[in-house]
């Protein structure tokens, strides 16, 4: 499949509200395109010429905002940015129908998945979920590109996620399962991922030769893993729970002893920002196994591929 064919592929759903909007075939195409874009960025510098994306951000951001800004601009387009709560001054349906007359896509980083769904319902242009309380699909795309680069492929590899069963865990479950990975998630009791999302991931895993395992055993999840992943124990909006979560999650810290249960050449992943010394030690973060900055770099490349498949 050549560059022009790849870039011409479009997502059937027309939006990326969640990982569910990507079929397994589309996901593989997107990751292939992300690899091509990374290898030859100069071939794609005019693909979005004359097109604009709106960035709507309710939450602070480093990687998401900068990589989307750079992605659109490096593809030849431009961006406009709005920071603040969506729907405070006017309803979401009015915002969506203003923006779709000015720009060719809406990238939203929000507190509620309902905001993403409402934007997509009312907008005539593609809506991209840049993070919600339920999903973080753009992060998972970059993660899978990183696993493929560092481990040779995603299919058949074991990905262990240790920590809170949050939006990142949900996206890893769904995306990993669609790529035929063996995804093992370990959380403290009461912090497991959403059961409906787990069931959906199990269906995808069965279709693609992978598996999904949910447990409360960090060691069990990490044993034999090719990639070990964690995230902060208290996400934005959970600050009042931070101290209690530190106590509950302490046995789930990714440290040298836990990593020793993984494959010898296993990589460490984290979506960042990290609370060093809490969910992960400095020793692991700075080890040769750490691929965290490869992940950050690949946010740019995976999002370029996503934009090409939605905006061209």
Could you tell me the residue range of the domain that residue 9 belongs to? 3-136+297-311
Candidates 17, 28, 63, 136; catalytic one: 136
Candidates 65, 295, 299, 303; catalytic one: 299
Residue 37 to residues 31, 42, 68, 198, 266, Cα–Cα distance (Å): 10, 8, 14, 32, 26
Q: Are residues 173 and 26 in the same domain?
A: no
Residue of 238 and 60 predicted with greater confidence: 60
Share of the chain above pLDDT 90, in %: 92
Q: Are residues 205 and 126 in the same domain?
A: no
Candidates 231, 270, 278, 295; catalytic one: 231
Q: Are residues 200 and 126 in the same domain?
A: no
231 is catalytic: yes
Average the pLDDT over 228-238 and give the result. 88
Tokens coding 30: 């997107």
113 is catalytic: no
65 is catalytic: no
CATH of the domain at 208: 3.40.50.1370
pLDDT interval class at 1 (50, 70, 90) = very low
pLDDT over 50 (residue 92) = yes
Q: What angle do CA 32, 35, 41 make, to 5 degrees?
A: 130
Q: Are residues 34 and 17 in the same domain?
A: yes
193 conformational bin, left if phi > 0, alpha if psi -120 to 50, beta if neither: beta
pTM: predicted TM-score of the whole model, two decimal places: 0.96
Under 8 Å between Cβ of 130 and 68: yes
294 is catalytic: no
pLDDT interval class at 167 (50, 70, 90) = very high
Go through 145-180 and write b for each residue having 16 or more CB atoms within 10 A of its CB, e for each that does not: bbbbbbbeebeebbbbbbbbbbbbbbbbbbbbbbbb
Candidates 65, 109, 182, 270; catalytic one: 109
136 is catalytic: yes
* CA torsion, ordered 33, 39, 40, 41, to nearest 10 deg: 80
Q: Structural domain tally of the chain?
A: 2
Give the containing element (helix H, strand E) for 107: strand 105-109
Q: Are residues 51 and 171 in the same domain?
A: no
pLDDT over 80 (residue 8) = no
Candidates 145, 271, 295, 303; catalytic one: 271
270 is catalytic: no
């Amino acid at each position: 499949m050549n560059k022009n064919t790849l870039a011409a592929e479009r997502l059937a759903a027309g939006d990326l509200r969640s990982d569910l909007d990507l079929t397994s075939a589309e996901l593989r195409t997107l990751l292939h395109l992300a690899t091509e874009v990374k290898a030859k960025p100069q071939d794609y510098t005019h693909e979005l010429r004359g097109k604009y994306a709106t960035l709507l951000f309710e939450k602070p951001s480093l990687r998401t905002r900068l990589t989307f800004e750079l992605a659109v601009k490096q593809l030849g387009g431009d961006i406009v940015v709005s920071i603040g709560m969506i729907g405070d001054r006017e309803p979401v349906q009015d915002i969506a129908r203003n923006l779709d007359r000015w720009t060719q896509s809406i990238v939203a980083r929000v507190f509620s998945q309902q905001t993403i769904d409402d934007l997509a319902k009312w907008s005539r242009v593609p809506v991209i979920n840049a993070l919600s309380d339920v999903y973080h699909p753009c992060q998972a795309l970059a993660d899978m590109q990183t696993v493929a680069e560092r481990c040779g492929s995603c299919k058949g590899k074991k990905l262990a996620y240790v920590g809170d069963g949050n939006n990142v865990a949900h996206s890893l479950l769904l995306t990993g399962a669609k790529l035929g990975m063996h995804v093992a998630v370990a959380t403290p009791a009461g912090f497991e991922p959403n059961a409906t999302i787990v069931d959906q991931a199990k269906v995808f895993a069965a279709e693609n030769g992978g598996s999904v395992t949910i447990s409360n055993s960090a060691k069990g999840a990490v044993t034999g893993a090719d990639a070990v992943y964690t995230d902060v124990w208290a996400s934005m909006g959970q600050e009042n729970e931070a101290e209690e979560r530190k106590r509950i999650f302490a046995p789930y810290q990714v440290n040298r002893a836990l990593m020793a249960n993984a494959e010898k050449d296993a990589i460490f992943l984290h979506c960042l920002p990290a609370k060093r010394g809490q969910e992960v030690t400095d020793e692991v973060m700075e080890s040769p196994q750490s691929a965290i900055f490869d992940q950050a770099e690949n946010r740019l490349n995976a999002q370029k591929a996503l934009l090409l498949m939605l905006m061209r």
